[in-house]
Amino acid sequence: MWPNVKPRLFYDNLKLNLEDPKSFYPGRSTNFCAYGALSYLVMERDPLAYVKFMNELYDKGEASFNNKHFKPSKAVMDAAGSLKFKGVLDIRHAEQMWFLALADKYKGYLNFFDKKFDEGDENTFWAATNLAKFDRMVSKLCGVHVEAVGSDLIKPWVKDTYRYLSKRIDSNIVSLYINNRIIHKKNHDKIKFSIPTHFIILRQIRKEGNMITLRYWDYGGETEMQVSSRTLKKIIFGIITIDK
């Protein structure tokens, strides 16, 4: 059913997911970051449901999660276990199945021209996620109330971003849809497209003078970085508040 998924790597991965739920790694150079953030939220709420779902998906090729039925396409089933050069995702065959199955099932307007999986599509628009699609996935798979401000092109109308975030972070889980190209530059061009590229889970935020220290989860671990108030406002396109 899953010709390239190795049973040992699959079960080792599930065990790791249970023991260390924050270790989900969406892979280097993929467009799986939204599914990574979603995994964080799923594991916060119901890790056993995830394991049960994955076992059923592995055994039968189809399964339901929170009453949402998944039956991945043959192309996706063939690809799972064969993704390479994505860092530790190479040997995490359960996570490969999970991310591919999510990208195969949930579609937004960014996927309009590339709905069918072809080799290498984990890095393309086939796997991309816009803000509304992310909100929909979180709401349906986690069964929680999701409140979002912002959009894919226009930044949220929030007067004081720091205050807005710090007010929500204690009683909710906060996810951010950010333009990662500003804080993680990839070329020296001064003019950059102002578009969001990355989903993260905000873990902590604090302010000293004009500098704001963010601690966030993505790619299987936490990252701490300092930005100015102006940069913080510049990078955030979506603030997603999720009930704890």
In 3D, which of 145, 38, 152 has the Cα closest to residue 99?
Answer: 38
Of 4, 29, 66, 171, the one binding another protein (CB under 8 A) is 29
The reply to whether 19 sits near another protein by the rule CB under 8 A is no
Judged by CB, which is closer to another protein: 51, or 88?
88
Answer for which of 69, 159, 186, 244 binds another protein (CB under 8 A) is 186
Return the range that interacts with another protein (CB under 8 A); candidates 45-53, 85-93, 127-135, 141-149: 85-93
193 binds another protein (CB under 8 A): no
Which of 28/116 has CB closer to another protein? Answer: 28
User: What is the pattern of x (binds another protein, CB under 8 A) and - over residues 212-241?
Assistant: ---x-----xxxxxx---------------
> Any idea which residue has 């890095």 for tokens?
123
Q: Does 78 bind another protein (CB under 8 A)?
A: no
Query: Phi-psi category of 44—alpha, beta or left, where left has phi over 0 and alpha has psi -120 to 50?
Result: alpha
Q: Does 208 interact with another protein (rule: CB under 8 A)?
A: no
Identify which of residues 13 and 129 has a Cβ nearer to another protein in the complex.
13
**Residues in 156-185 that interact with another protein by CB under 8 A:** 183-185
Pick the binder of another protein from 19, 67, 84, 244 (CB under 8 A): 84
114 binds another protein (CB under 8 A): no
User: Can you give the binding site for another protein, defined by CB under 8 A?
Assistant: 6, 9, 28-29, 84-85, 87-88, 90-91, 120, 123, 183-189, 215, 221-226
